[in-house]
């Protein structure tokens, strides 16, 4: 066996040895890159799951907010708009009817003898009666109309785009007949009646407070006269309208 002389350079690796070393180095680098890629994929998957949960939570919050907003404008018993939900469309319709040939009617509907139903048949029957009346009023509305539960046993109907106050009275009479249909409460057949006050915008009030007051006063007049329906007398103009007229 031949040994290299002392101090001589070691023999150069053969081509096969060089290729093996290169392959080993590349394999080590490839393994390191695969491990790094696997680590990045794990982090990406965790971030994706976190992002999905965040999106789900955000959608849930949006749904809850939408439900809360809707609930805030709805009466829980009847499902009708409440005062809060009724006022925005009412104000929009008042703005639309501020000028032009068409008028808007506001109807205040108050049940007669509702307390007697509560006292005789119980509050559950009274609640059922309110639901029935609310459903009958809603069924009697035209596509453009709106009804809300104003509170207690009182409802308010918005009837836009009418050609005359006479038409408003005819619609109010139809609603009165619908309410008066017998219904079954607590196993008993009950007939309920109502009083309706009708106010016409802008004739009976050129602002929302005046119009509401006119309809409310007309409703009490109908109740006092037991006439079923009363039209509001022309209300005095608001101070703003008087100033505009004077100018």
Catalytic residue list: 153
Cα separation, 14 vs 142, whole angstroms:
98
Using CA atoms of 97, 208, 164, 171 in order, give the dihedral in degrees to the nearest 10. Answer: 120
Q: Return the number of other C-beta atoms located less than 10 Å from residue 153's C-beta.
A: 21
Task: Show the tokens assigned to 110.
Answer: 């108050």
Residues 86, 92, 93, 99, CA torsion sign: positive
Half-sphere exposure of 36 (CA within 13 A, CB side): 6
Buried b (16+ CB within 10 A) or exposed e, 96-112: ebeeeeebbbbbbbbbb
Task: Show the tokens assigned to 42.
Answer: 């794990």
């Amino acid at each position: 066996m031949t040994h290299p002389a002392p101090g001589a350079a070691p023999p150069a690796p053969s081509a096969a040895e060089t290729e093996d070393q290169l392959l080993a180095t590349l394999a080590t680098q490839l393994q390191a890159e695969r491990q790094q890629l696997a680590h990045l994929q794990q982090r990406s998957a965790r971030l994706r799951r976190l992002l999905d949960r965040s999106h789900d939570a955000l959608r849930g919050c949006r749904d809850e907010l939408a439900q809360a907003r809707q609930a805030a404008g709805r009466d829980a018993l009847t499902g009708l708009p409440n005062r809060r939900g009724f006022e925005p469309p009412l104000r929009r319709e008042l703005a639309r009817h501020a000028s032009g040939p068409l008028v808007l009617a506001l109807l205040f509907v108050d049940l007669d003898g509702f307390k007697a139903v509560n006292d005789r048949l119980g509050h559950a029957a009274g609640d059922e009666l309110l639901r029935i009346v609310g459903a009958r009023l809603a069924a009697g509305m035209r596509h453009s109309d709106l009804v809300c539960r104003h509170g207690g046993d009182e409802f308010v109907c918005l009837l836009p785009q009418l050609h005359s106050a006479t038409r408003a009275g005819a619609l109010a009479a139809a609603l009165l007949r619908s309410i008066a249909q017998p219904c079954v409460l607590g196993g008993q057949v009950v007939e309920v009646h109502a009083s309706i006050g009708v106010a016409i915008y802008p004739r009976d009030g050129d602002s929302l407070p005046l119009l509401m007051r006119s309809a409310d006063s007309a409703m009490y007049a109908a109740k006092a006269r037991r006439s079923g329906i009363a039209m509001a007398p022309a209300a005095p103009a608001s101070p703003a309208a008087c100033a505009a007229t004077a100018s």
